[in-house]
Amino acid sequence: MRFPLALTAKIARHIIKHKMLRTPRFAMVLQLEPLHTCNLTCTGCGRIREYSTSLKDMMSLEDCLGSATECDAPMVSICGGEPLIYPKIEELVDGLLQQGRIVYICTNGMFMRKKMRDYLASIYSPNLEPKLAKLVEDKLVTEKEAETIRKGKSDGRPVIHPSKWQYWNVHVDGLEYTHDLIVEREGVFKECVEAIKMAKFLGYQVATNTTVYKETEVKEIEQMFEYFSSLEVDGHTISPGYEYDAAKKDMVKRLNKQPEDFFLTRKMTREKFAKIQEWGQRFTIFGTPVYQEFLAGKRDLTCTAWAIPTRNVKGWKAPCYLMTDGHYPKYQEMLDTVDWTKYGVVGGVARDPRCENCMVHCGYDPSGALGTNYQRGDNWKNIKYNFGAKPQPYREGAKVNAFNGMTIGKGHLAEAKAAINSPRAAMNGAQAAFSRKAEPQDHDHSHAEGGGGCGSGDTTQRDELLAKIKKDT
């Protein structure tokens, strides 16, 4: 089967129950944002910008668990910010699993290996030594970390352990060069790959989560799927980038980029996703075949943003994960109060101008699952897709040139330094601008929490550098 039977059955039961009860609107996936703090500052991220004044706030554990009970979605996607920074992430995952939810931890990957080392410490016994030796041999764990694992774990706190009900959902927006450019930090792709390898070795389920921007090449998306398929990743979420107001403003102010150079229009989305159905056959793409047809421009769907509600420090965010017209204290209050007919694109006409270019999965994927805009044969398509054979790992994908950035000395900082060292830049004094500060400490990712600027989100040096280069060329 393409997806685990227990998970598919759980979601199907939830839909059937609400269809029989004739519930007009109900939640399928809860996007839970316990905090908005992040160790990265990705270019297209609306979160860290929209909530820049409340980055230090976080939801209590009780509030998080209560939100899941309140909307009763079978799936909970813990996002943020970076959820692995949330101090009670282990208790949260554990509590959600105890509630019987399917849990996705949407992470940038930088702290995953630390969490998995905690898991290893919690189960340590001499029987674990062969596994530990292999992890050390593959450089996924250092000797020093192995020693710490051997000491065991006795703080009484839960750990994030492998479970068929839980996925690591790792943010990867391309191969090394592109991904590191989008997350505005070198070495992140490499760390993601190492974390994914370690997770698969330990028996976790792993998915990747990709946002496609204007600059993303279709061929590269395909190669990325091929590469991660060779690592036996269990599934992929892929969605077009949405032009967040906050991200657009940041782009103009900080990077001096025009939003239209970065975000996709509807027409561009359809071009980029023209092959999504073919990818759906080759790789385990999450998302209904109906949503895939929509992305490929073969049909229209009506937005059902209420089915993937977002809960964060300010309340239930309306109308959707992307746009904010208000926050509500209760999910039901949000459902009852918001005028849902004001949003989405119907018959090619945007009901709200902000929806015009939106085709993102959190607005339209549930429409495919819930039978909105039903066409004859849709149910059969969904059944066939979910219950069809799981695509086999694409072994040839191991040959993809995934490390095409900083690993081979072609990272952005290397390019920046080269530009600065060019005779023309030297004449303009750019070298002095660079040498004023210490070298960036972007390369120590084996201890992500302590390494360099990771955790600070400080891109000042890089921004200054880029601004200087722009001026000098």
Tell whether residue 42 is a contact of ligand SF4 (CB under 6 A).
yes
Q: Residue 43 or residue 386: which is nearer to ligand SF4 going by CB? A: 43
Q: Residue 130 or residue 353: which is nearer to ligand SF4 going by CB? A: 353
Helix 412-420, helix 460-472: angle, nearest 10: 50
Tell whether residue 355 is a contact of ligand SF4 (CB under 6 A).
yes
- Least Å from the CB of residue 86 to ligand SF4: 12
Distance CA 246, CA 134 (A): 45
Stretch that binds ligand SF4, among 258-266, 287-295, 358-366, 445-453 (CB under 6 A): 358-366
Distance CA 312, CA 321 (A): 10
- Least Å from the CB of residue 5 to ligand SF4: 30
**Contact map string, positions 56 to 95, toward ligand SF4, x by CB under 6 A:** ------------------------xxx-------------
Residue 213: φ, ψ to 5°: -110, 175
- Least Å from the CB of residue 232 to ligand SF4: 24
Give CA torsion, residues 220, 228, 105, 274, to 10 deg.
Answer: 40
Tell whether residue 366 is a contact of ligand SF4 (CB under 6 A).
no
Stretch that binds ligand SF4, among 17-25, 231-239, 360-368, 410-418 (CB under 6 A): 360-368
Q: Which residue in the shown chain puts its C-beta closest to ligand SF4?
A: 363
Tell whether residue 135 is a contact of ligand SF4 (CB under 6 A).
no
Tell whether residue 229 is a contact of ligand SF4 (CB under 6 A).
no
Q: Scanning the structure block, which residue is given the tokens 């105890």?
A: 98
Stretch that binds ligand SF4, among 6-14, 120-128, 351-359, 366-374 (CB under 6 A): 351-359
Number of H helices, E strands in the chain: 21, 11
Q: How far is CA 279 from the centre of its chain?
A: 19
Distance CA 68, CA 53 (A): 25
Q: What is the bridge-based pairing of β-strands 310-312 and 315-319?
A: antiparallel
- Least Å from the CB of residue 442 to ligand SF4: 15
- Least Å from the CB of residue 374 to ligand SF4: 19
Tell whether residue 378 is a contact of ligand SF4 (CB under 6 A).
no
Instruction: Find the farthest-apart pair of alpha carbons in the chain and give their distance in angstroms, rounded.
Output: 74
Q: Which listed residue (358, 369, 402, 466) binds ligand SF4 by CB under 6 A?
A: 358
Stretch that binds ligand SF4, among 37-45, 196-204, 372-380, 396-404 (CB under 6 A): 37-45
What does the DSSP assignment read for 429-442? THHHHHHTSPPP--
Q: DSSP assignment, residue 79?
A: -
Residue 157 neighbours by CB distance under 10 Å: 12
Q: Scanning the structure block, which residue is given the tokens 């999504």?
A: 276
Q: Which listed residue (28, 30, 45, 301) binds ligand SF4 by CB under 6 A?
A: 45
* Contacts to ligand SF4 from residues 282-321, by CB under 6 A: 303, 305, 319-320
Q: Residue 34 or residue 319: which is nearer to ligand SF4 going by CB? A: 319
Residues 437-457 as b/e (b if ≥16 CB within 10 A, e otherwise) read: eeebebeebbebeebbbbbeb
Q: Residue 309 or residue 411: which is nearer to ligand SF4 going by CB? A: 309
Q: Residue 171 or residue 270: which is nearer to ligand SF4 going by CB? A: 171
Residue 197 neighbours by CB distance under 10 Å: 18
Q: Residue 354 or residue 468: which is nearer to ligand SF4 going by CB? A: 354
- Least Å from the CB of residue 23 to ligand SF4: 20
Q: Which listed residue (11, 27, 40, 64) binds ligand SF4 by CB under 6 A?
A: 40
> Which residues, other chains included, contact 19 with Cβ-Cβ below 8 Å and sequence gap of 6+?
none
Closest listed residue to residue 81, CA positions, set 70, 93, 89: 89
Distance CA 186, CA 183 (A): 8
Q: Residue 404 is inside which H or E element, if any?
A: none
**Contact map string, positions 181 to 210, toward ligand SF4, x by CB under 6 A:** --x---------------------------
Question: Can you list the positions of beta strands (E) in 26-113?
Answer: 29-32, 75-78, 102-107
Tell whether residue 38 is a contact of ligand SF4 (CB under 6 A).
yes
3-state secondary structure of 321: coil
**Contact map string, positions 321 to 350, toward ligand SF4, x by CB under 6 A:** -xx-------------------xx------
Sign of the alpha-carbon dihedral angle for 459, 460, 462, 463 = positive
Binding site for ligand SF4 (CB under 6 A): 38, 40-42, 45, 47-48, 80-82, 108, 171, 183, 303, 305, 319-320, 322-323, 343-344, 354-355, 358, 360, 362-363
